[in-house]
Chains A and B, each alone.
Chain A
């Protein structure tokens, strides 16, 4: 697995564990809300965890206006941020 994919999967696992939900395999095509049951608080937590592990928060800059529906949406936002230097924390 590529590092960003692994980091995103780790973050989502942590969110599920911290909120008392069952661990489950995370696949790129999965829908964050419908398949994984993530709400806006869960997404906010995921973003903080990813900032810690990857060192960037692409959502802090107004440039990130893409809708995030799937796991792979999230992965590609972070990959873009990391290659362009993004908004480093």
Chain B
């Protein structure tokens, strides 16, 4: 454990007074919470960046508050119509968000793959890690004093199911899922998501609103992530099933065993039963929660009973939070958020297995082979169960003969179980698929790879490798 983590953990946990948090206008809350923590403990550790590497650096709440105050003064003087956060450093993004919120300046977070969309934000000012506003262009528009409508927060979609696009959010919707009660105060959060995307913004807001410590690993390399978990006293790990699976499959187990995780929050994709079992075995003290949320609906439900999918009895009943789930005839999950709202198709397909509904994949992921549908997640779940396989992905390859063809990639265990060779594991995978799947679902192309690529959002891609 690093020296300043130890120091922080010894001090009592100062927390922002709930009144400061809840009475402040929603767009002021990040700056207000950071200010409140600084009044109690200015040198409290806020962010550990580049964690798990030699470039590790730490930022305390006092430093954040100073930078926020400086940027607020500059924004107040310049009155830009909006700020595009161009910063690469996590602490700069936090400062930009907090200052823009309290100064009522609209702010946009653009991930690397959505940088081209900046043209849609005319007259907005780009702000990089220097946090210095460039001189206003002559004749450029300024924000008017009487613009009192709540400032929007623009976040680009990840572009997994189409080209990235800019989506207007509000501070209200951004903070809707934040957990502010006392049990959530002063905890260590790991940020494996991209800090400029919706899921990542949620994590750093949550950590810093509650006086927590945000730990950002230097990369998604499994050993780097495992070192960050172990060395920085992380207690909460929000991740996609793909990122968690990679961590369990490829990180040094002795590092993982050193971590003190209390909670794993899975989202973005469906988790299979095998992954939930493996994660619980590696982190026996951790409570594993699966969050089901979509860009359009926000958070719909959480399930923490250790099983995949959700209990079958939930269909047609009002859930805590008010949402109601139902099914289209083809198995697509439909959600009605409240009595007054319409039923919305989620694009996620589910199937009844025993007393649960389990996810079989997204409608848009379905591979069509000679007119027959293949659910890639079902094939992946089967392939991952073959001894010697630690990771797998299945995708569709275009084919002039059959429209598409099922293709897959597997990562082998290192070392392989005794008596196995790469070729024998590959043959066993194909045999397991022939025995357990319809002929058109069996992968026709199956490559052994060192690592499965992940999308920028940390999910398993459904496209052929570029």
> Which one of A20, A41, A43, A48 contacts B369 once the chains associate, using CB atoms below 8 Å?
A41
Stretch of B139-147, B226-234, B302-310, B394-402 at the chain-chain interface? B394-402
Q: Which single member of B401, B430, B434 contacts A44 (CB below 8 Å)?
A: B401
Return chain B residues, CB-CB under 8 Å to A57: 400
Q: Is the CB of B431 within 8 A of A41?
A: no
**B interface: dominant SS:** mixed
B283 to chain A, nearest CB (A): 38
Q: Of all chain B residues, which has the CB nearest A39?
A: B439
Q: Tell me the bound Cα distance from A41 to B439 in angstroms.
A: 9
Check: B263 CB closer than 8 A to any chain A CB. no
Decide: B400 and A20 in contact? CB cutoff 8 A.
Answer: no
Interface-central residue, B370, B399, B434, B446, by most chain A CB under 10 Å: B399
Contact with B along A32-71 (1 / 0, CB 8 A): 0000000011011101110000000101100000000000
A72 to B444, CA, bound (A): 23
Q: Does B445 interact with chain A (Cβ within 8 Å)?
A: yes
Partner of B370, one of A41, A48, A59: A41
> Is A84 engaged at the interface, CB distance under 8 Å to the other chain?
no
User: A83 interface residue, CB < 8 Å from B?
Assistant: no
CA distance A1 to B280 in the complex (A): 56
Selected contact of A48 from candidates B431, B442, B444, CB within 8 Å: B444
Q: Is B363 an interface residue (CB 8 A)?
A: no
Please tell me if the beta carbons of B430 and A40 are within 8 angstroms of each other in the complex: no
Interface set, chain B 426-450, CB cutoff 8 A to A: 430-431, 434, 439-440, 442, 444-446
Chain A, residue nearest B404 (CB): A44
Task: Count chain A CB atoms within 10 A of each CB in B370, B401, B405 and give the residue with the most.
Answer: B401
Whether A18 contacts B399 in the complex (CB less than 8 A), given A45-B405, A45-B444, comes out as no
Docked complex Cα distance between A18 and B431 (Å): 8
- Which residues of chain A come closer than 8 Å to B439, judged between CB atoms? 41
Chain B, 367-407, contact with A by CB distance < 8 Å: what is the 0/1 string? 00110000000000000000000000000010111100101
Contact mask A12-45 → B, CB, 8 Å, 1/0? 0000001110000000000000000000110111
CA distance A49 to B407 in the complex (A): 12
Residue of A nearest to B435 (CB): A20
Closest residue of chain A to B440 (Cβ to Cβ) is A41
Across the interface, B401 reaches (CB within 8 A) one of A18, A19, A43, namely: A43
Contact of A18 among B370, B400, B402, B430 (CB under 8 A): B430
- On chain B, the residues within 8 Å of A59 by CB distance are 400-401
What's the Cα separation between A18 and B370 when bound, in Å? 19
Complex CA gap A60/B445 in Å reads 18
Q: Which residues of A contact B397 (CB under 8 A)?
A: 48
Is the CB–CB distance between A44 and B446 below 8 Å? no
Indicate which residue in A19, A41, A49, A60 contacts B400 across the interface (CB closer than 8 Å).
Answer: A60
User: In the complex, what's the smallest C-beta–C-beta distance from A62 to chain B, in angstroms?
Assistant: 9
Report yes or no: A20 in contact with B405, Cβ–Cβ below 8 A: no
Most chain B CB atoms below 10 A, which of A20, A44, A49, A57: A44
B400 touches A40 (CB 8 A): no
B400 close to A47 (CB less than 8 A): yes
Residue with the highest number of chain B CB atoms closer than 10 Å, among A41, A43, A57, A59: A41
A40-B444 contact, Cβ under 8 Å, with A20-B430, A20-B431, A20-B434: no
Chain B contacts for A48, CB-based, 8 A: 397, 399, 405, 407, 444-445
**Pairwise interchain contact A47-B434, C-beta atoms closer than 8 A:** no
- Check if B431 sits within 8 Å of A44, measured CB to CB: no
Contact with A along B332-347 (1 / 0, CB 8 A): 0000000000000000
Task: Please name all residues of chain A whose beta carbon is closer than 8 Å to the beta carbon of B400 when the two chains form the complex.
Answer: 44, 47, 57, 59-60
CA distance A48 to B408 in the complex (A): 13
B407 / chain A contacts, CB cutoff of 8 Å:
48
- B440: A residues at CB distance < 8 A: 41
Return the chain A residue nearest B405 by Cβ.
A44
Shortest C-beta distance, B73 to chain A (Å), equals 57
Q: How far is the CB of B107 from chain A (nearest CB, A)?
A: 43
B402's contact among A19, A44, A49, by CB below 8 Å, is which? A44
A13 and B444 CA atoms in complex are apart in Å by 13
User: How close is B191's CB to chain A, nearest CB, in angstroms?
Assistant: 39
B442's closest neighbor in chain A, by CB? A19
Q: Which residue of B lies closest to A49 (CB)?
A: B445
A19 to B370, CA, bound (A): 18
Distance (whole angstroms) from the CB of B167 to the closest CB of chain A = 36
Q: List 29 A-B contacts (CB under 8 A).
A: A18-B430, A18-B444, A18-B446, A19-B430, A19-B434, A20-B431, A20-B434, A40-B370, A40-B402, A41-B402, A41-B405, A41-B439, A43-B401, A44-B399, A44-B400, A44-B401, A44-B405, A45-B405, A47-B400, A47-B401, A48-B397, A48-B399, A48-B405, A48-B407, A48-B445, A49-B445, A57-B400, A59-B401, A60-B400
Using a CB–CB cutoff of 8 Å, the interface residues on chain B facing chain A are 369-370, 397, 399-402, 405, 407, 430-431, 434, 439-440, 442, 444-446
A-B contacts besides A41-B439, A47-B401, 15 pairs, CB < 8 Å: A18-B446, A19-B430, A20-B430, A40-B370, A41-B369, A41-B370, A41-B444, A44-B402, A44-B405, A45-B445, A47-B399, A48-B405, A49-B445, A59-B401, A60-B400
